[in-house]
């Protein structure tokens, strides 16, 4: 893998994160992000998690830092990859 110079830490929204990520890839390489919210399918597990969380939190959901409405199919950080306002390194969907 090619070493990439890191002159400073990229901050969310500064336009440097995706070009830096692309520079880490081999030609034709793939980047996959699995940092999105988890939705449990198993009702028993979902209820067990809810019960364990209840004394501390009503929900473990975190609002999108970019203001994406909760009902949208694409949520942050995925919205960073969609133009307009997203990285030009990704095509529109």
Q: Report yes or no: 78 and 92 within 8 Å, Cβ to Cβ.
A: no
What CA–CA distance (Å, rounded) separates 5 from 9?
Answer: 11
Q: What is the pLDDT of residues 52-64, one digit of tens each?
A: 999 998 887 777 8
Q: Is the pLDDT of residue 5 over 50?
A: no
Angstrom distances, CA of residue 87 to CA of 28, 72, 77, 78? 18, 19, 12, 10
Q: Give Dmax over CA atoms of the chain in angstroms.
A: 49
Choice among 2-11, 19-28, 49-58 with the minimum mean pLDDT: 2-11
Burial 44-56 (b: 16+ CB within 10 A, else e): eeeeeeeeeeeee
What CA–CA distance (Å, rounded) separates 12 from 28?
Answer: 25
pTM beyond 0.85, yes or no:
no
């Amino acid at each position: 893998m090619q070493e990439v110079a890191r002159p400073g830490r990229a901050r969310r929204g500064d336009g440097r994160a995706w070009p830096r990520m692309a520079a880490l890839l081999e030609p034709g390489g793939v980047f996959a992000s699995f940092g999105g919210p988890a939705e449990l399918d198993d009702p028993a597990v979902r209820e067990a998690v809810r019960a364990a969380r209840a004394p501390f939190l009503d929900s473990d959901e975190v609002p999108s830092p970019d203001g994406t409405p909760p009902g949208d199919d694409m949520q942050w950080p995925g919205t960073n990859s969609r133009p307009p306002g997203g990285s030009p390194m990704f095509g529109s969907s």
